[in-house]
């Protein structure tokens, strides 16, 4: 069994992580830390877990009793927490925030299994990718690796309200978000940093820009991304390149018709679709932002880090109806 501690366990990602780990055949949650909810039943906050666990939120963090900790803090808090606490050197760390995703000055491995599976297997410290970053990269990885696209890559993506976190705000309140759609952080979204890092890793010297327009959707969870760039290969050759790239990826699947987001919500799957329009390659991908875009991928990474079946605890069915 892998003994686990969860920090920041009262938010959306913490709740989903607990839900997944409670049903993981080789995982045991030792503590779920929350300063604001210490002593309360986890199921009093994450009410979907009523009847599943008697676990209570803890203020204590017995690091000497765990094999791995998950950091489910808001962005910027993980680095501060690790500075202020002495984590035993044998305890592995999986950070779900953006604090360590950009290389340099730390030993965290970027945890996108479709690009870094072997490095993840030997990692002690891992930075889990962002939700938009995961979805966008999965649309483009095979094309970048094979060098079959050129010029600017135009990306549009729409995300569910859970991507903004549990604390309500002016753009996440139900009455504002319902029946509404809007753009935000146009061309400046923070996930572009890790996306561009991967672009240069897979295709050194790539001269095009990733031009990203993120949108807020009027649904709770899921991400749907469309991207296009110049490509001179016929569609059949592009499909072969994509199928070969993802042949060993247990959760990322090339599909032959345009996917629907409902096919992935509630799962750790990513569906990828490609189409040609004259000299433009259309790349579509969709994921659940809380699972493949966050805690599902984090558990997938944990499985790799501990030599477990990569799919353990993650064989989930989509809520397609």
Alpha helices (H) in the chain, listed in sequence order: 12-22, 42-45, 77-84, 113-121, 131-146, 174-177, 192-202, 235-245, 296-305
Angstrom distance (rounded) from CA 132 to CA 224: 9
Instruction: List the Cα angle 18/82/311 in 5-degree steps.
Output: 35
Residues 299/24, Cβ–Cβ less than 8 Å? yes
The catalytic site residues sit at 131
DSSP 44-77: HHSGGGTTT---BEES---GGG-SEEEE-PPTTH
SS3 253: strand
The dihedrals phi and psi of 149, each to the nearest 5 degrees, come to: -120, 155
β-bridge pairing 182-183 and 125-127: unpaired
| Cβ-Cβ contacts under 8 Å for 87 (sequence gap 6 or more) | 63, 69, 93
Residues 8/77, Cβ–Cβ less than 8 Å? yes
SS3 133: helix
β-bridge pairing 109-110 and 182-183: unpaired
């Amino acid at each position: 069994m892998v003994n686990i501690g969860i920090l920041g366990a009262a938010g959306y990602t913490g709740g989903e992580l607990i839900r997944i780990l409670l049903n993981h055949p080789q995982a045991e949650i030792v503590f779920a830390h929350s300063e604001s909810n210490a002593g309360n039943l986890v199921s009093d906050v994450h009410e979907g877990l009523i009847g599943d666990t008697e676990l209570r939120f803890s203020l204590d963090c017995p690091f000497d009793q765990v094999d791995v900790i998950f950091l489910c803090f808001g962005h910027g808090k993980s680095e501060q927490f690790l500075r202020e606490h002495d984590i035993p050197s044998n305890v592995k760390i999986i950070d779900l925030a953006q604090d360590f995703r950009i290389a340099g000055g730390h030993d965290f491995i970027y945890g996108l299994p479709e690009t870094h599976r072997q490095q993840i297997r030997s990692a002690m410290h891992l930075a889990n990718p962002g939700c938009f970053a995961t979805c966008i990269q999965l649309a483009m990885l095979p094309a970048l690796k094979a060098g079959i696209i050129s010029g600017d890559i135009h990306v549009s993506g729409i995300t569910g309200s859970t991507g903004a976190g549990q604390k309500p705000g002016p753009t996440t309140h139900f009455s504002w978000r319902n029946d509404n759609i809007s753009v935000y952080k146009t061309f400046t979204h923070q996930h572009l940093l890790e996306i561009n890092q991967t672009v240069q890793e897979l295709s050194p010297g790539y001269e095009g820009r990733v031009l990203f327009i993120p949108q807020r959707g009027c649904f709770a969870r899921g991400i749907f991304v469309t991207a296009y760039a110049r490509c001179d290969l016929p569609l059949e050759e592009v499909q072969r390149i994509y199928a070969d790239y993802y042949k060993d990826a247990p959760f990322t699947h090339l599909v032959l018709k345009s996917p629907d987001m409902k096919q992935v919500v509630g799962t750790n799957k990513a569906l990828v679709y490609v189409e040609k329009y004259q000299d433009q390659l259309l790349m579509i991908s969709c994921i659940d932002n809380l699972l493949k875009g966050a805690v599902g991928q984090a558990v997938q990474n944990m499985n790799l880090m501990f030599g477990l079946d990569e799919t353990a605890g993650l064989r989930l069915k989509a809520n397609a109806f």
